[in-house]
């Protein structure tokens, strides 16, 4: 079978009018930066990159050395490319404008440089998540509010999964596609075109240790699922939880399933656990483009109007039938927060 590299794939998409040259080059720059992150994560103790950085990020979470390294790699790679007006990251309180020394473009890039970083030290999968927005025209200086666009405005989104294989999963609104890094030649090669998520599933992902903190609709849904073949659902379910959203979403894009991080008594004050702009929205875009669904329990994630750069939301995504059911339980129980 003739292999298609990421660059060839993007050139074809440009010829088909699916994306413009600037966006295509921006995706290439992000992919190239992620190859460097893959090398850093792969070195582990040999590269002195394990353990804490001794600092906290804007969310008050302890940063790992690799969180900081990955953030710097993405910032540096994107600063000079000429395709961006500014970047925003989980690791930085405010957006970072492109330095004056470099040409500026008309895109905004948001990223979680290393999602699931508590997995790093135990050698389990982690990933980078990114989202691309258009920068409004005639902006002298990019400010936080320019990033506060609903997910339906995303031009592209994707993640890179650093696992046994390094994979890039990408959408620019024309399906969701997977590329595998061929480490010998250093290129991402198309390995799945137009991924589809089955509408039905019997596999769910949730952190069950939070069960006693959940709201009534979540408790009801999981209680029914756990009753298996004897319960109202009439079938046995299986559970998986990697604790790195990228890996859990990748499983869903491979064999179906659902991922839940609901509102609970512990995260209620913050509005949820996962970040809207650089976790929930890009994942929702990828999942919807593969035929799945993504809600906050009440409405489509991609239609939420963001109110803050680091805003958190409840997340329910994956196989469509299951997401519709769990969303219906929430809608019947409570008005949207």
> Mask: binding to ligand AFP, 201-240, rule CB under 6 A, as x and -?
------x---------------------------------
Nearer to ligand AFP, 81 or 262 (CB): 262
Q: What contacts 110, CB < 8 A, 6 or more positions away?
A: 87, 88, 89, 130, 131, 132, 133, 147, 277, 278, 282
Nearer to ligand AFP, 115 or 178 (CB): 115
CB of 325 vs ligand AFP, minimal distance in Å: 21
CB of 248 vs ligand AFP, minimal distance in Å: 6
Q: Which of residues 76-115 bind ligand AFP (CB under 6 A)?
A: 115
Query: Applying CB under 6 A, which of residues 117, 125, 149, 171 lies at the interface with ligand AFP?
Result: 117
Q: Is 71 in the site for ligand AFP (CB under 6 A)?
A: no
Nearer to ligand AFP, 142 or 161 (CB): 161
CB of 117 vs ligand AFP, minimal distance in Å: 4
Q: Which of residues 11-30 bind ligand AFP (CB under 6 A)?
A: none
> Given the rule CB under 6 A, which residues bind ligand AFP?
61, 115-118, 207, 243-245, 248, 274
């Amino acid at each position: 079978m003739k292999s298609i590299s990421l660059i060839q794939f993007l050139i074809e998409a440009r010829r088909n009018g699916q994306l413009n040259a600037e966006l295509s080059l921006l995706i290439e720059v992000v992919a190239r930066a992620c190859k460097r992150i893959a090398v850093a994560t792969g070195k582990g103790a040999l590269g002195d990159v394990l353990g804490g950085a001794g600092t906290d990020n804007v969310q008050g979470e302890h940063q790992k050395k690799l969180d900081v390294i990955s953030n710097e790699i993405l910032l540096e790679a994107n600063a000079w490319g000429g395709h961006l007006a500014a970047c925003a990251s989980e690791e930085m309180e405010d957006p970072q404008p492109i330095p004056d020394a470099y040409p500026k473009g008309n895109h905004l890039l948001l990223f979680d440089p290393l999602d699931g970083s508590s997995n790093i030290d135990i050698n389990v999968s982690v990933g980078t998540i990114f989202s691309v927005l258009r920068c409004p025209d005639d902006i002298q200086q990019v400010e936080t509010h320019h990033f506060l666009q609903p997910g339906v405005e995303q031009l592209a989104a994707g993640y890179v999964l650093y696992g046994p294989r390094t994979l890039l999963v990408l959408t620019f609104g024309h399906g969701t596609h997977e590329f595998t890094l061929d480490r010998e030649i250093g290129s991402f090669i198309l390995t799945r075109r137009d991924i589809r998520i089955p509408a039905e599933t019997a596999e769910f992902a949730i952190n069950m240790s939070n069960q006693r903190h959940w709201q009534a609709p979540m408790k009801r849904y999981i209680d029914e699922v756990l009753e298996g073949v004897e319960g109202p659902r009439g079938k046995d379910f299986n559970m998986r939880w990697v604790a790195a959203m990228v890996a859990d979403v990748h499983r869903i894009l491979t064999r179906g399933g659902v991922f839940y991080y609901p509102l609970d008594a512990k995260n209620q004050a913050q509005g949820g656990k996962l970040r809207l702009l650089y976790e929930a929205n890009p994942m929702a875009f990828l999942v919807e483009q593969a035929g799945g669904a993504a809600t906050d329990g009440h409405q489509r994630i991609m239609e939420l109007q963001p109110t803050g750069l680091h805003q958190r939301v409840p997340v329910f995504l994956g196989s469509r039938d299951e997401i519709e059911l769990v969303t219906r339980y929430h809608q019947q129980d409570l008005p949207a927060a």
